[in-house]
Amino acid sequence: MIVEYIGQGLYDEENFTCGNHICSALKSDFYTDVNFFVAFLRRTGLSEIVKFLKKAKEKNKNITFYVGIDQKVTSKQALEKLLELNIPTYIYNSTSYIYHPKVYLFEGKDKNRVIVGSSNFTNNGLFNNVEASVLLDFTSQDKSGMKFLNQVKDYFSPLLEFDDPNLNVVTTEYIQELFDKGLLSNEDFDSETGTFNTKQNFDNAKKGNKDRNTGELGNIEISENENHGIKNKQKLKITEDYLAKWPSMFEKLKAYKEKFNKTVVSKDHEDRTFQGWYQKQKTIHNSPDIEMPQEHYEMLIELDKDFFKDGHIKNQENTIERWLEILEEAIKNNEDVKANHRYIYGEHRLGTWLVGVASANKKGKRLDVREKIEKIGFDFSKTSRDLKSVFARLIEDLYKAENPNRQEWRTRLFKQVDKKEKLNAKTIQEIEFAWKYHFNDDFVWDKIHEKYSDNTDEWKQHRKETGQWYPIKIIEGRYQNLYTWVERRFNKPSILKKNINRFDEKELNELRNTGFKI
């Protein structure tokens, strides 16, 4: 089964209209039986299709119309034209219900087609109005297609079998009877004005709507690989309607800025028409084929000098400016601002934002933002957690300290690093100088507090000698320091993680079985 969407009316120079699909189906040799169920029938609608109806009749195709006469739209002349073509036509006229279908059935021995949608049998309905229909093309062996066709025919069976009491065959006498009762409209030629009496809105396009170029009719072929959608969307243009509505939309934009202090209208804004107008201003401004009225350009720029800047970039810039304002406020209030996720200023996760900027800086990004942050007075090195910044702060604090405790400061230094090799020469030199400045002796790197030392080799020796990892057995005074070292790692698994790469899988399993949380 092939399913096609038929859309018309939104774009100029459309060829794949509902009317053209009907002409193409009438022209095709695949279909032998044709049934149209339409609410309205006008001679203007028949005008483009008459020649296809004639040729179809010449090929002995069975064509039948089932037409409604509600709202006095169907015309006397249209019914007379079908009689002239010797096409069986029936009027459905109910006092209880409005007859309003637009269903076009084409049946053949091997192929079938159904068109269902909003297009009535008027010229505008078939070719000009904004209409929507669905076309189904399927073979007689297609189970889904035949099921659908039979459902349609079963539903209309009272009409197809001519036993519905509201159904009447069209004859010359019956047409005149309906016309005399005022149930049919008149499209007759007015000899005084030289025009057809087509004053109804279903015959005439709206004011300002030019005639559409429907192209040559009857040549559409449906296939799986052919896309009959809109080939070229409507070209961007400035219409009279657009110009007339522009001032009111601009007033909306002014009110929007006053309320939200911005002119960027988000895509999920509740007023979709307003959002579409906003986007169109950017599109027109950037289009090489159309020029924005100078007055519009000046008004938009006066409202916001950056109006035509990319909305996403503009939102980012506004967000950055807001964070800078928050940072400046925090510093003025003597806040101890920190670049870490735990720091919150008021309701603002200022620390997280600063961390994000610092992370981007490492990749060479947002360096301009960092420069603005530092101009405000924030020093990333004061709170950065990288080794260089941490030791820079420690050294500074050590210089400022009054009567510092030697052991306490040694612990603070070694808490940040396990090995001297992780520090660069300049940092090592600064540590040693600061240490000697305060304590008047050399800093000893190889005597690390047991908390930060690595006693893994001694622990393995204990395992080999005693057959157990834990608890530590003190043998002839040996393993006394190891006892405390292992005890800490048993109670605090996070400390043990620093030494975990010193064990093979067998040793790790033994430690797990002993109770270590690895």
**Total domain count, the chain:** 5
Is residue 450 a part of any domain in this protein?
no
Q: pTM of the predicted model, to two decimals?
A: 0.53
Same domain, yes or no, for 7 and 111?
Answer: yes
Question: Is residue 222 included in any domain, yes or no?
Answer: no
Q: Do residue 341 and residue 432 come from a single domain?
A: no
Of the candidates 60, 49, 114, the one whose C-alpha atom is nearest the C-alpha of residue 86 is 60
Angle between helices 456-466 and 505-514 (to 10 degrees): 70
Quick one: 103 and 115 in the same domain? yes
Do 402 and 259 belong together in one domain? Answer: no
DSSP structure class, residue 236: P
Where are the strands (E) in 84-194, listed by range? 89-92, 102-107, 111-117, 131-139, 167-169, 189-190
Question: Domain containing 18 — which CATH number?
Answer: 3.30.870.10
Q: Considering only 60-74, 207-221, 378-392, 490-504, which range has the smallest mean pLDDT?
A: 207-221
Kindly state whether residues 82 and 176 are assigned to the same domain. Answer: yes
* 446 located within any domain: no
Percent of the chain scoring above 70 in pLDDT: 86
Beta strands in 233-313 (DSSP E): none
Q: CA-CA distance, 454 to 458, in Å (whole number)? A: 9
Domain termination residue (choose one: 258, 283, 309): 309
Residue 415 pLDDT exceeds 80 = no
Measure the CA–CA gap between 324 and 248, rounded to whole angstroms.
36
Please return the burial class of 95, using the count of CB atoms within 10 Å of its CB with bins 0-12, 13-18 and 19+.
exposed
CA distance 350 to 343: 7
Identify whether residues 118 and 48 lie together within a single domain: yes
Q: Within this chain, do residues 292 and 328 fall inside the same structural domain, yes or no?
A: no
Q: For residue 444, is it within any domain?
A: no
Tell me which residue range forms the domain holding 411: 387-439
Q: Position 275: which residue type? A: Q
Question: Does residue 386 have a pLDDT over 70?
Answer: no
Handedness of CA 40, 41, 47, 48 (dihedral sign): positive
Judge whether 27 lies within some domain: yes
Same domain, residue pair 177 and 126: yes
Residue 418 lies in a domain: yes
Other CB atoms within a 10 A radius of the CB of residue 491 amount to: 10
Do 324 and 346 sit in the same domain of this protein? yes
Q: What is the pLDDT of residues 447-498, one digit of tens each?
A: 555 555 678 989 999 999 999 999 999 888 788 878 888 998 899 888 888 7
Window from 141-145, 155-159, 290-294 with minimum mean pLDDT:
290-294
Q: State yes or no: pLDDT of 55 exceeds 80.
A: yes
In whole angstroms, what is the distance from residue 116 CA to residue 151 CA? 13
Contacts of 338 (CB under 8 A, 6+ apart): 351, 354, 383
Pair 77, 59 in one domain = yes
**Same domain assignment for residues 349 and 393:** no
The encoded tokens of residue 256 equal 């929007």
CB 429 within 8 A of CB 394: no
**Per-residue pLDDT tens digits for 229-280:** 555 455 678 888 889 999 999 999 999 999 998 898 888 888 989 999 999 9
Could you tell me the two tokens for 100?
Answer: 């309003």
CB atoms within 10 A of CB 373: 25
Model pLDDT, residue 217: 86
Which comes out higher in pLDDT, residue 204 or 443? 443
SS (H, E, C) 423-445: CCHHHHHHHHHHHHHHHCCCCCC
319 and 427 part of one domain: no
